[in-house]
């Protein structure tokens, strides 16, 4: 059986989401899990990365009650190239928010419904400072997605 592929796409301007993304990446690369993980920004990623992925984790700051412009640009650039070819891919979300993160969360979910992705984990919404507890939750998000892909649960 071939190794599964997890794509982590995140945007960070202040560094908060980069910290969260690193924790997600660390969890996804747990020593007992054998999958391939690509870790990149929305600027670096393109439709071929979506075609490669068996699962995706999106990370974004909340900007004006919405996802980052960079993540939105990624969605805009890739949708038509993969339409109908990525149906059912499992995904999860983490958001570094200034208010409650709901606007960013809702917008990502709406777009992912257009791609026909399947949300498989509860999102992580981080309002305020990043704590050790938050870091651990992000590690668990990555680890759970990776293990779920490897075992065929997702």
CATH number, domain containing residue 23: 3.40.50.360
Q: How many C-beta atoms lie closer than 10 Å to residue 58's C-beta? A: 25
Over residues 145-149, mean pLDDT: 99
pLDDT confidence band for 1 (50 / 70 / 90): low
pLDDT at 115 over 90: yes
Domain limits for position 77? 5-151
State how many domains the chain has: 1
Lowest mean pLDDT among 50-54, 98-102, 123-127: 98-102
- The answer to whether the beta carbons of residues 105 and 64 sit under 8 Å apart is no
Q: Is the pTM of this model over 0.85?
A: yes
């Amino acid at each position: 059986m071939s190794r599964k592929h997890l794509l982590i796409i995140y945007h960070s301007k202040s560094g908060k989401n980069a910290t969260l993304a690193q924790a997600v990446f660390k969890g996804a690369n747990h020593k007992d899990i054998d999958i391939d993980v690509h870790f990149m920004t929305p600027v670096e990623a393109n439709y071929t990365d979506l075609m490669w992925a068996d699962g995706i984790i999106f990370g974004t700051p909340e900007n004006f009650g919405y996802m980052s412009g960079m993540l939105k640009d990624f969605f805009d650039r890739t949708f038509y190239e993969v339409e109908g070819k990525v149906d059912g891919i499992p995904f999860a979300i983490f958001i570094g928010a200034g208010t409650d993160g709901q606007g960013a969360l809702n917008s990502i979910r709406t777009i992912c419904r257009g791609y026909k992705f399947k949300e498989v984990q509860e999102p992580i919404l981080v309002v305020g400072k990043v704590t050790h507890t938050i870091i651990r939750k992000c590690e668990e998000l990555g680890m759970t997605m990776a293990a779920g892909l490897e075992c065929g649960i997702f």
